[in-house]
A and B are shown apart, each in its own frame.
Chain A
């Protein structure tokens, strides 16, 4: 190789290595900035459910609970809707229509989180408070999940807005995985006399299931870390409630709300440690999702 080539290789390599460096720096900074809390609170931090900065009581449990609960409920809504829409876009719609609709769905994914929050405060919260939550209480009020006052803000409202925000991810990744299923699979099922739906549900979807599962995990990671929209409607109450109508809190929301005002040594460090927990959660889920998606798209391209 000539010197120019070696130089070009080294320069681009340095920038590529910069990405690894940033990732390492991220871990190091989170680790050192949270050291005061980790030393002072130990593992009790993760197990305690009491959060009162005034008396220096810091427990992460209400936030972890709220984060996981809102994200899981959000996916219970967005996965069926998103998978359905992905099936329509990949199996039924003509290519032109499918591409145009996918473009619109990508625009939905491009809308900033704070705008979802704005809409949530002024459109979704009144709707939830005056119509959806009273309805849930009268029909399903015997379940522990739908009891207590209808505030409009709380776990359920946050989950609904998260569902809207994660649908585009579920749709676009599921659609890709469905499109990667070889034509012969569909033709074989149809030739055996299966209806269009039976072909899709019993042949195409199982073939693409790893990729679809990957899209679910990707959506989950997005939902767990989503900050602004959730902060605006979660209700900001560090309690653990079984009822979805109750106000709660999430990790991202408490960092967003309290970090600039956190004084002393342990309080800001405890918030950074919450950030570290969130980082760990999303890294694990993202890592699994990427491996799953890689596995399906590889399988599809090899066989087709």
Chain B
């Protein structure tokens, strides 16, 4: 049984122009992968360090995803690794009694959050697995989930999307294993990234730190290490790996 080595592998990381995705892309590159960074933020792509190839992509658009996957295969011959990192942390309570525009969670924004965090994973996986199957590539898909998948107050849509991502991970692990394609998820807890600090107040972050057995937030590098681990271990399939300092135990 051949083992997927990151060194020399072709990896596609979505939403990797900055933050967690950028850290994952850099880590895989450091391990020897040819990394293609996709992001809809063209400015972020223009600032990528040399060695990381940037391609503009809106992961909610299937036609774009198929074009990008095809272009990567045309250029590099195959895609070995897909990291579905792109997403948007979205918080809105089910009831906000103080909102004069309407006290209930807006349905349009609920759908938008699902599109950004759930549809995007389906779309990218569909586009890349088509290439893997056609080329008989025994590749790996890593979905970036979240601790919110357990349910998190104030995050109806985001939590639902991430729970669904976990369910798709297991489903694809079962279905695609026949093709030699593995699928796993990495579920970060609270990581000290820019997007986390934007989404949560300092007092909430302090509260989270004090409730975490390790008494700190995680780092993007620690999540990237977890991603590399589930890629390299050829018998990990269908796993959702929590990376949260023990917050959920």
A and B bound?
Answer: no
